C-alpha cells in the first residue's frame, strides 16, 4: 500500500469562498481519485485526476465547481469553489496502481487506498 | 434500485461474537469486491479484496462472494471492541468503485 496524506484535515469556511485540498502520496501512482462522503451516504466519486491532462468528472460534477490539478504522479489538489452549506462533507482522495521496484512495475492494481479525508463545514 | 445495497445498522454485538456483514448488488459487470473499515473521523482502510466467487480468509476476517446470487459477505470471528467501526462494501469495474452506504458495527466489552 501507500501512505497518503491530505491537507487540511478539516476546515470551516464561509459561504461563497473556495477551499483547495491537497493530496500527497509517498509513492508514484498511476491513478488518483477524489470522492465525497456526505453524512449517511455512500462515498461518491467526483472525478479521476489525470496526470498531465484534464480530470475526468462523474455525472453531476463539473470542472467549474471542482477544479482538479495533478501536476505529477504523487500529488493532486481538489478545489471546492463558491461554497454553499450543501458542500459540507468529507472529501477523500484515493490512489490505485502503485509503482514499485526499479523496473517501474505497478503493484496493487484494481484496489484503491484512501487518504484520511478532509472534513469541510460551510457556514 | 441502487447498484449496491447495504444495511446501515447499527449492528450491536457482544465481544467474542461472530459478525456477519452483507451487501447485495445488481450490476453483473462488477469484477472486484472489497471491504473497507472506517473508524470515526478517519479514511476508509482496505480490509479484504477478492475477485472470484468463494471464500477468502485473513486472520479473523473472511470475505465471501457469491456471484450467482450477487451477494457478498464479511465475517468477523471473535469480534473485539476495536472492531467497532463502519464497514463499507465496494465493487469495481474498469477502475470505478461503487460503494455501499456502510454498516456501523458496535462491539461491546
| Tens-place pLDDT, residues B34-69 | 999 999 889 999 999 988 889 999 999 999 999 999
Helix (H) or strand (E) holding B63: strand B61-66
Which of A56, A110, A116, A119 to mutate against chain B (most B CBs within 10 Å)? A110
Q: Which residues of B touch A116 (CB under 8 A)?
A: 42-43
Pairing type for strands A29-37 and A19-25 reads unpaired
* Residue pLDDT, tens place only, A37-55: 998 888 999 999 988 888 9
- DSSP letter at A44 equals E
Contact A110 B43 (CB under 8 A): no
Name every chain A residue with its beta carbon within 8 A of the beta carbon of B85: none
Cβ distance of A113 and B31 shorter than 8 Å: no
Residue ranges of alpha helices (H) inside A8-111 are: none
Amino acid at each position: 500500500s501507500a501512505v497518503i496524506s491530505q491537507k487540511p484535515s478539516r476546515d470551516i469556511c464561509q459561504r461563497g469562498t473556495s477551499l483547495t485540498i491537497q493530496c500527497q502520496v509517498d509513492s508514484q501512482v498511476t491513478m488518483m481519485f477524489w470522492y465525497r462522503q456526505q453524512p449517511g451516504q455512500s462515498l461518491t466519486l467526483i472525478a479521476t485526476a489525470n496526470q498531465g491532462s484534464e480530470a475526468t468528472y462523474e455525472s453531476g460534477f463539473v470542472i467549474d465547481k471542482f477544479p482538479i490539478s495533478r501536476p505529477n504522479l504523487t500529488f493532486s489538489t481538489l478545489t471546492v469553489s463558491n461554497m454553499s452549506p450543501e458542500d459540507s462533507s468529507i472529501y477523500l482522495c484515493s490512489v490505485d496502481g502503485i509503482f514499485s521496484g526499479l523496473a517501474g512495475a505497478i503493484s496493487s492494481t484494481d484496489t484503491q487506498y484512501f487518504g484520511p479525508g478532509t472534513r469541510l463545514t460551510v457556514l | 434500485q441502487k447498484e449496491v445495497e447495504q444495511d446501515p445498522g447499527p449492528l450491536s454485538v457482544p465481544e467474542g461474537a461472530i459478525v456477519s456483514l452483507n451487501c447485495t448488488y445488481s450490476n453483473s459487470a462488477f469484477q472486484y469486491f472489497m471491504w473497507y473499515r472506517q473508524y470515526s473521523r478517519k479514511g476508509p482502510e482496505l480490509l479484504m479484496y477478492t475477485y472470484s466467487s468463494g471464500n477468502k480468509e485473513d486472520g479473523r476476517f473472511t470475505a465471501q462472494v457469491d456471484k450467482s446470487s450477487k451477494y457478498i459477505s464479511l465475517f468477523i470471528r471473535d469480534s473485539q471492541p476495536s472492531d467497532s467501526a463502519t464497514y463499507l462494501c465496494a465493487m469495481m469495474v474498469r477502475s470505478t468503485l461503487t460503494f455501499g452506504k456502510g454498516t456501523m458495527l458496535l462491539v461491546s466489552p
